[in-house]
Amino acid sequence: MIRRLCVIGVGLIGGSLALALRRAGAVGEIIGAGRDESHLRKAVELGVIDRFEIDADRAVAGSDVTVVAVPLGAMRAVFAAIKGHLAPGAVLTDVGSAKHSVVEAARNAFGELPPYFVPGHPIAGTEHSGVEAACAELYRGRKVILTPVEKTDRKALQTVKSMWGQAGATVEEMDIAHHDRVLAATSHLPHVLAYALVESLARLAERDEIFRYAAGGFKDFTRIASSDPVMWRDILLANGDAIRSLIGRYRNDLERIEDAILKEDGPGLQALFARAKQARDGIATGVNDLEA
């Protein structure tokens, strides 16, 4: 059991973890931290946290585990603010979607990676954001990827594994670089495509009719374009090389389709669609297309 948990960034991800651990009886006191006092007061009213501090250094004092759940662009500032204020042996982890960026932010802030720092990434989310969207069931049956480094303390790693397990998740370990490449393909690129399609269609003269007659397929594909723009701005900047590579590959594939249409190559189009259908049909059920 975690005696005192500190969550820096009490939104959908951090708030859902707090609710899941509270329901599981796996945590004692939960301290929230963030820049918006009204937001933190709402988190107390909703029962997500017990109390809060505006200053992160005060929030982490005496905590057994601290979870940093802020946008990637804010990670370094948070790490710098809590440097020297964590209790001896206290575990530090995060939920960032691009692990190389987070690890470098921690290394720059602390001077070297603390042995009790365990980089992590829950593969779960929705298009909604904020503490009001927090849900104790968010991680049930979902995967959490941990990317420990060579010097990561094994006891700290086990603590974080246990924490996510209590929240209902399945925990796996992965190399940092491999994580960032995989997530660029499975999560980051789909969000780029959804944002780009909606923004492109919104600039057409017929936009009102397009959106009025949008069917289920359009709504399913573009739903993730309602995700938090700040979070996704930071993800694209943090994992830019991997995402740019995939955008280039996707652009080439679109050109192949465009060329097939121009040549009226029906068999070629059908073969492409058949391969895609076979691949999609083979994906296990329960895939969360709103992962971050």
- Compute the mean pLDDT over every residue in the chain, rounded to the nearest whole number: 94
Q: Are 37 and 179 in contact (CB under 8 A)?
A: no
Instruction: Give the residue among 279, 5, 15, 269 at the shortest CA–CA distance from 130.
Output: 15
Judged against a pLDDT cut of 50, whether residue 286 lies above it is answered with no
Q: Are 142 and 120 in contact (CB under 8 A)?
A: no
CATH number at 178-281? 1.10.3660.10
| 77-107: burial string, b at 16+ Cβ within 10 Å, e else | ebbbbbeebbeeebbbbbbbbbbbbbbbbbb
pLDDT tens for 230-245 read: 999 999 999 999 999 9
- Those residues with Cβ within 8 angstroms of residue 37's Cβ, 6 or more apart along the chain or in another chain: 52, 54
**pLDDT cut 70: percent of the chain above it:** 97
Q: What's the pLDDT at 284? A: 52
**Of residues 199 and 126, which shows the higher confidence score?**
199
What architecture (CATH level 2) is domain 2-174? Answer: 3-Layer(aba) Sandwich (3.40)
pLDDT tens for 150-194 read: 999 999 999 999 999 999 999 999 999 999 999 999 999 999 999
Q: Are 164 and 122 in contact (CB under 8 A)?
A: yes
Q: How many helices (H) and strands (E) would you count in the chain?
A: 13, 9
For residue 288, the one-letter residue type is N
Report pTM.
Answer: 0.88
Q: What's the pLDDT at 289? A: 45
Judged against a pLDDT cut of 60, whether residue 259 lies above it is answered with yes
Q: Are 187 and 97 in contact (CB under 8 A)?
A: yes
**pLDDT cut 90: percent of the chain above it:** 86
Instruction: Give the residue among 78, 72, 61 at the shortest CA–CA distance from 8.
Output: 78
pLDDT band at 197 (very low <50, low <70, confident <90, very high): very high
Domain ranges of the chain: 2-174, 178-281
3-state DSSP of 10-63: CCHHHHHHHHHHHHCCCEEEEEEECCCHHHHHHHHHCCCCCEEECCHHHHHCCC
d(CA 190, CA 175): 22
150 exposed, middle or buried (CB, 10 Å; 0-12, 13-18, 19+)? exposed
Q: What's the pLDDT at 291? A: 52
Measured in degrees and rounded to the nearest 5, phi and psi for residue 27 equal -145, 150
Q: What's the pLDDT at 173? A: 97
pLDDT tens for 59-90 read: 999 999 999 999 999 999 999 999 999 999 99
pLDDT tens for 86-108 read: 999 999 999 999 999 999 999 99
Judged against a pLDDT cut of 70, whether residue 138 lies above it is answered with yes
Residues in the chain: 292
Judged against a pLDDT cut of 70, whether residue 18 lies above it is answered with yes
